[in-house]
Amino acid sequence: MTSLNANALDRVIADLPRRYPGPGGAVAVVKDGVPIVRHGWGFANLETRQPYTPATIAPLCSITKQFTCATLLDVAPDPAVLDPLIAAQLPRLEGEKPTTLDLANNQSGLRDYWALSVLCGAMPEGAFRPADAVHLIGLTRSLHFRAGTAYSYSNGNFRMLALAVEQASGRAFGDLLAERLVGPAGMETAVFGPETGALPGGATGYEGTVSTGWRPGINRLHWAGDAGLCASLDDMIAWERFIDRTREDPDSPYQRLCRPPATFRDGSPAGYHLGLIRRARWGRAMSGHGGAIRGWRLARHWVPSERLSVAIAFNHESDSFGAAMQVIAAALGESDRPAPSVASAAWGFAGSFLDERTGLLLEVAVNADGTLAATYDGGAEPLSVGEDGVARGLDMTLTRQVEGILIERPGDAVRMLARPLARPHEPGVGAAMAGLYRSAELESEMEIVDAGGSWFAGFRGFLGAGPMMALTPVGEDVWRLACHRSLDAPAPGDWTLRLSRSASGAVTGARVGCWLARDVAFDRTGG
């Protein structure tokens, strides 16, 4: 077990408000079952001048997913007994349906319902009710990969799990979670709050930056299972101490989540299992999860070999995962900086590439230090190019090949070739694509507009008429559709829009996708 680097840890903790500027935040470090850092700074509410302290209650957002899965295992030790209840929520899906464990492992192949809400006309600050979730999930006719064969993050998976648990037990999911987990863990102020517009405790999450100023992030969602637990940093300390206290008990909730091997159907290892992300860093296994909604970013991670846990909450949109890794690195005497990169070889990766199997863009830029910023799953990942010419990051490896770039993400079961895109010919790059398109599966409409040479697309569906979003050409008949604000946060990011044409060259449709919701077909209905 590594000796704690107390001086480095103190420096990093003191630097967090400067490196991740925002209205407020809090951080906790638990070592050997003892909280050694418990620190808050700034304001939980700028308007009321309420300070941010370790007792401030925040929405844990997707950190809830581990609690959902632990509750699931308590109610249904054999999750397969819930499979019929899961299948019943997908009445239009033909063929093989995902299992309960496929959902809990984010291997269902179901597109993320928050991402799909954009294609169904949701406004970023619109309302989303339980009936909307049932309807949107119930529209599903297809999967974007066969269940159990790959990974894709899908919030709807966990909403469906919570509903199945309620139906099987005859009890409200929030009551079960409180009784089976929150109470035994000693999380004294934690509550289940599925209404994001009515968070307990008076804290506010903020959008914006130091330069633009901060404004309250407005959320009007109802969520359950994928999120919903609200807790203070002190509650998270209690959760980490409970994990440490029961670490040798194979039947304890967290050990039941961690002990089974994470695999895909073919037996290959997976990086996500039962509401927890598993990865190795600095030669040590760790598990944890992040959380986000507009105005909030959170993270908690556990390094079992070191009996070390870190939890961070920001009421702004800074990189909570990066902050957590920085704190863990300091405590262990490691570096969170990318490995040195061969700058001369880095430029061979720069450009835009299309993964034709998923329909997603890979975009690679070279940073000032010679590392790469590769965007494939919605966020930019730093990679370093080694002497062997291979670019490696925490979750992804890129290898130059004659035909393009080979993308490897073993924890996601991704091994894809992305081919380079040539810039489209100017002018008139979007000629003849303006018009209306319809998705039969989502029962929604997309409109593409040429606004005086500036291109936009917007969606209309059962959730309303959403905002127009900018379209930028990336390659011949390949466009980037910007989406940086949506019902959920972080937003899906840039969508990839690929046009299809008839033999005569007329635009007949488009396929729209992002990492969370791939390859959604829209047929052209009018010019």
The pLDDT score that the predictor gives to residue 431 is 65
Rounded alpha-carbon distances, angstroms, from residue 55 to 10, 236, 323, 389, 450: 21, 10, 20, 49, 51
Of the candidates 31, 62, 108, 252, the residue annotated as catalytic is 62
The pLDDT score that the predictor gives to residue 429 is 56
The pLDDT score that the predictor gives to residue 379 is 83
- What is the Cα–Cα distance from 348 to 444, expressed in whole angstroms? 40
Fold match between domain 6-109+145-332 and domain 343-420:
no
Clarify whether 268 is annotated catalytic. no
Annotate 291-316 with DSSP letters as a single string: EEETTEEEEEEEEGGGTEEEEEEESS
Question: At what angle are helices 155-169 and 64-75 packed, to 10 degrees?
Answer: 30
Q: Which sign does the torsion angle of CA 366, 369, 370, 376 carry?
A: negative
Burial class (CB within 10 angstroms; exposed 0-12, middle 13-18, buried 19+) of 96:
exposed
The pLDDT score that the predictor gives to residue 261 is 82
The pLDDT score that the predictor gives to residue 485 is 87
Closest CA to 56 of 30, 15, 25, 35: 25
Order of strands, sheet of 308-314, starting from the edge strand that comes earlier in the sequence: 50-51, 34-45, 24-31, 308-314, 296-303, 284-293, 276-281, 272-273
10-residue mean pLDDT profile of the chain (527 residues): values are 84 97 98 97 98 98 98 97 98 95 98 97 95 98 95 97 98 96 97 93 95 95 96 98 95 92 92 95 95 96 97 97 96 91 94 93 95 91 95 95 95 94 66 92 97 94 97 93 88 90 93 95 90
Of the candidates 3, 31, 65, 344, the residue annotated as catalytic is 65
195: Cβ–Cβ under 8 A, 6 or more apart, which residues?
Answer: 221, 222
- What is the Cα–Cα distance from 482 to 250, expressed in whole angstroms? 46
The pLDDT score that the predictor gives to residue 256 is 94
Is residue 12 within 8 A of residue 330, CB to CB? The reply is yes
The pLDDT score that the predictor gives to residue 426 is 59
Question: At what angle are helices 130-138 and 155-169 packed, to 10 degrees?
Answer: 110
Pair of tokens at residue 271: 């990086």
Name the 3-class secondary structure at 10: helix
- Per domain, the residue ranges of the chain are 6-109+145-332, 343-420, 435-526
Rounded alpha-carbon distances, angstroms, from residue 380 to 51, 276, 306, 374: 32, 21, 29, 5
The pLDDT score that the predictor gives to residue 228 is 96
Closest CA to 152 of 430, 505, 461, 517: 517
Closest CA to 325 of 341, 344, 310, 343: 310
**How many CB atoms within 10 Å of residue 387?**
8
Q: Which long-range contacts (CB under 8 A, 24 or more apart) does 89-92 make?
A: 89/134, 89/137, 89/138, 89/160, 89/163, 89/164, 90/137, 90/138, 90/140, 91/138, 92/138, 92/139, 92/140, 92/141
- What is the Cα–Cα distance from 381 to 372, expressed in whole angstroms? 8
Name the 3-class secondary structure at 426: coil
Clarify whether 65 is annotated catalytic. yes
The backbone torsions φ and ψ at residue 99, rounded to the nearest 5 degrees and listed phi first, read: -90, 175
What top-level class would CATH report for the domain 435-526? mainly beta
**How many CB atoms within 10 Å of residue 455?**
21
**How many CB atoms within 10 Å of residue 462?**
15
pTM over 0.85, yes/no = yes
Rounded alpha-carbon distances, angstroms, from residue 46 to 213, 315, 375, 464, 526: 11, 11, 34, 32, 49
Q: With b meaning 16 or more CB within 10 Å and e meaning fewer, what string describes 50-64?
A: bebbbebbbbbbbbb
Q: How big is the CA angle at 379 (ends 109 and 308), to the nearest 5 degrees?
A: 90
Length of the chain in residues, anyone?
527
Q: Number of helices and strands (H, E) in the chain?
A: 13, 32
Place of tokens 């039941």: 256
The backbone torsions φ and ψ at residue 53, rounded to the nearest 5 degrees and listed phi first, read: -125, 170
CATH 3.10.28.10 fits 343-420, yes or no: no
Is residue 54 within 8 A of residue 28, CB to CB? The reply is yes
CATH 3.40.710.10 fits 6-109+145-332, yes or no: yes
Residue 171 amino acid letter: R
- What is the Cα–Cα distance from 414 to 194, expressed in whole angstroms? 33
- What is the Cα–Cα distance from 154 to 106, expressed in whole angstroms? 6
